[in-house]
Amino acid sequence: MLELGTRAQDQPLLWVDHVTHRLGGAGSTPVLRDVELVLAPGEWVALAGRSGSGKTTLCHLVAGMGTPTAGRILIDSVPADRIEDWAVVSLLPQRLALAEELSVAENLLLPLNLRARHGVGGAGGAGGAGRAGLGEQLIETLGLAGLADRLVGQTSLGEQQRTALGRALALGPRLAVLDEPTGHQDDEHVDRVLAALSLVHERGTAILVATHDERMWRAAGRVLTIHEGQLT
Ligand SMILES: Nc1ncnc2c1ncn2[C@@H]1O[C@H](COP(=O)(O)OP(=O)(O)OP(=O)(O)O)[C@@H](O)[C@H]1O
C-alpha cells in the first residue's frame, strides 16, 4: 500500500488507489488490474501501451465516467465519479462528443459559457489569468481561428479533435485527461496540440495523456506503460 503524507503539500492531485475494473460483469477478465497511480498538482504524465491495454478505460474512470469495480480514484481527495466540474477534471474522449448544432468556437467555449450561465466566475483558474482570454488563445493556438464560426460538423476530423481538445482545456482545469489527442493530427498540428498543452500546463494544469505518439511522450515529465491492464 502506498503511504501518502498527511501535510497539505504532500497531498496528491490524483490518486488511483489499487483500482481493478471489469467491463464484462462479474467473473469477466479485469480490464484494469490493481492499478496504482499518483499525480502531483501540475504534473504532465503520458500513458503508453498497446491497443486494448486499458488506457481508455483508465482515462474514463479518472474523468469520473464510471466507478471502479474495486479500489478508488480520488482527485483532491474527492471520488472522481462525484466530480462534475470541468474546472477540476476534464476529458478529451476518443469519440469527441461535439454538439453538431454549434460552431467550432461555441463548442470550444461551451464550458466557459455554461459556467457563466450558472453564475460561476469566468475569470481566474489555474495561473490566475482570465479564462475567457484562455479560450481565445486556445482557438488561435489550435489553428481554429479561421473556422471559428463554422458549424463543427462541417470541419475535418482533425479540426473536430482540436475543437474537443480546446473544450477540455478551456477552463484551465486542475487535471486534463486526454485520450489520444494527436490521433487525427499531422505533424504541423501535433505542434499545435503540444503548444496548447504547454499553454495550460504553464498555468498549472496537470495532464494525463494516453498516447501512442512519441512526440507526446517526449513532452511529458513521466511516461508510464500499461500492459494488459497493469501499469509496468
Ligand atoms: N464494453 C466493453 N465490454 C467488455 N470489454 C471491453 C469493453 N470496452 C472495451 N473492452 C475491452 O477492454 C480492454 C481495454 O480497452 P481500452 O479501450 O481501455 O484499451 P486502449 O488501451 O485504450 O486501446 P486503444 O489504444 O485501441 O484505444 C480491451 O481488451 C477491450 O477489448
Residue range 12-50, pLDDT digits in tens: 999 999 999 999 888 899 999 999 999 999 999 999 999
Q: What angle do CA 180, 181, 185 make, to 5 degrees?
A: 110
130 — pLDDT class (breaks 50, 70, 90):
low
Residue 12's Cβ-count burial label (10 Å; 0-12, 13-18, 19+) is buried
Mutational pocket test of ligand 1: of 20, 28, 33, 57, the residue with most ligand atoms within 8 Å of the beta carbon: 57
Closest residue by Cα to atom 10, ligand 1, is 23
Atom of ligand 1 nearest to the CA of 210: 22
Tell me the best of 19, 21, 23, 50 to mutate to test the pocket of ligand 1, counting ligand atoms within 8 Å of each CB and taking the most.
23
In the chain, the percentage of residues whose pLDDT exceeds 90 is 84
**Cβ neighbours, 10 Å, residue 52:** 11
Asked if pLDDT for residue 99 goes beyond 70, the answer is: yes
Binding site membership of 52 for ligand 1 (Cβ less than 6 Å): yes
- Write the pLDDT tens digit of every residue in 193-229: 999 999 999 999 999 999 999 999 999 999 999 999 9
pLDDT attached to residue 121: 55
How high is the pLDDT of residue 119?
Answer: 72
Write the CA distances from 55 to 67, 148, 219, integer angstroms: 16, 31, 18
Q: For residue 205, give the C-alpha cell.
A: 494544469
Gap between the Cα atoms of 90 and 180, Å rounded: 14
Q: CA nearest 31: which of 3, 71, 2?
A: 71
pLDDT band at 124 (very low <50, low <70, confident <90, very high): very low
